[in-house]
């Protein structure tokens, strides 16, 4: 058991799922070089729900792309279960903000979900079972034969979540997934995210610019500072589980936490 110096709040016995060590990303070179990520270091434990917040343009999306193996870091590394991420790992699934663009409009809901499984070589029977389970988890069992564009925005994002769940990842990475839906739908989807985390035992890395959302959902909030992006602070959120849109948000501890995150972000 090693001593954790940087994050005394993390339970010592927890299993590390993701480790990000001194992650740097620089675009361009020479005098045009622009450093977007500047030595980010944090961990995500197995089964944990970690929200990443930061000022807009801080490089959150770049961080996620490095985490998910879509973009190689300039230096430092991201590891999943101790192995450096060099390409999209099979144990990780992504949900993007732009549901209209991340779902294939020429495929039905069901086929959108099964296509990655087919490519992965999952048997037809198991594909069917996983799809059914995932669609039930997001309450869309009746929409499997519809096309994504026949569904509302919130439903489309639920399809994207179901697709990620059916992939059975250990880590679910979500990039501002609820930023493009209306407020009411957003609350529903936040609670859905909590339910599937509990039901599937999945580790969640959730990027958002919404402070309330971050505090409401997270076990820990990683606050980023901007230009270049560094980890400002990692704040543990010890609110009672399961969270509740009314009760949790009325909790003085919630208000205090969101003020703290807000102050940190305002300072940049």
Partner 1 sequence: MAITVTRDRMAPVATRWTGSGVAVGSTAVVACLLAWELAARGPLADAPFPTVVEIVRSLLGLLATGAFWSSLGQTLTTALMGLALAIGAGVVLGVLLGSVEFAYRSTRLIIEILKPIPPIVIMPLVILLLGPSAEMGVVLVLYGCVWPILIQTVAGVRDADPVLIDTARSFGFGTAQRAVQIVLPGAAAFIVTGVRIAGSAAFVIAVVSELVGGAPGIGHELFVTQNAGLYSEMYALVAVMGGVGLGFNTALHAFEKWMLHWHPSVRGEVTA
- Among positions 151, 211, 231, 239, the unique one binding partner 1 when judged by CB under 8 A: 151
d(CA 202, CA 89): 15
The answer to the question of residue 119 lying near partner 1 (CB under 8 A) is yes
The answer to the question of residue 134 lying near partner 1 (CB under 8 A) is no
Using CA atoms, how far residue 184 sits from 177, 189, 246, in Å, is 14, 9, 13
The answer to the question of residue 13 lying near partner 1 (CB under 8 A) is no
- Among positions 120, 124, 145, 267, the unique one binding partner 1 when judged by CB under 8 A: 120
For CA atoms 156, 126, 164, 244, the dihedral sign is positive
For CA atoms 130, 136, 137, 143, the dihedral sign is positive
Nearest-CA neighbor of 151 among 167, 139, 137? 139
Choose the binding region for partner 1 from 52-60, 92-100, 136-144, 239-247 (rule: CB under 8 A). 92-100
d(CA 251, CA 18): 30
Alpha carbon 255 to chain centroid distance? 23
Residue 58's H or E segment, with its range, is none
Choose the binding region for partner 1 from 93-101, 193-201, 239-247, 255-263 (rule: CB under 8 A). 93-101
By beta-carbon proximity to partner 1, the closer residue of 76 and 116 is: 116
Choose the binding region for partner 1 from 1-9, 87-95, 241-249, 254-262 (rule: CB under 8 A). 87-95
Contacts to partner 1 by CB under 8 A = 65, 68-70, 88, 90, 92-94, 96, 98, 101-102, 104-106, 115-116, 119-120, 147, 149-153, 167
């Amino acid at each position: 058991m090693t001593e954790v110096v940087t994050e005394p709040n993390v339970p010592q016995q927890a299993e590390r799922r993701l480790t990000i060590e001194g992650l740097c990303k620089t675009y361009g070179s020479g005098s045009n070089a622009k450093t977007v990520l500047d030595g980010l270091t944090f961990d995500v434990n197995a089964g944990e729900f970690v929200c990443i917040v930061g000022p807009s343009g801080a490089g959150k999306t770049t961080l996620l792309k490095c985490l998910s193996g879509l973009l190689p870091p300039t230096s430092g590394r991201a590891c999943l279960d101790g192995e450096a991420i060099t390409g999209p790992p099979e144990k990780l699934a992504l949900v993007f903000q732009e549901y209209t663009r991340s779902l294939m409009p020429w495929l039905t809901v069901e086929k959108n979900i099964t296509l990655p499984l087919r490519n992965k070589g999952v048997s037809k029977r198991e594909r069917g079972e996983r799809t059914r389970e995932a669609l039930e988890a997001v309450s869309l069992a009746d929409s499997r034969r519809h096309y994504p564009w026949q569904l509302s925005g919130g439903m489309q994002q639920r399809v994207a979540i179901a697709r990620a769940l059916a992939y059975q990842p250990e880590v679910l990475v979500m990039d501002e997934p609820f930023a493009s839906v209306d407020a009411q739908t957003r609350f529903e989807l936040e609670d859905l995210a909590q339910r599937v985390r509990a039901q599937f035992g999945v580790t969640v890395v959730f990027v958002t610019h919404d402070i309330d959302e971050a505090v409401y959902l997270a076990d820990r909030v990683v606050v980023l500072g901007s230009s270049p992006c560094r980890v400002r602070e990692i704040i543990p959120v010890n609110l009672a589980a399961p969270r509740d849109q009314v009760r949790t948000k009325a909790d003085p501890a919630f208000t205090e936490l969101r003020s703290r995150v807000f102050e940190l972000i305002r300072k940049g």
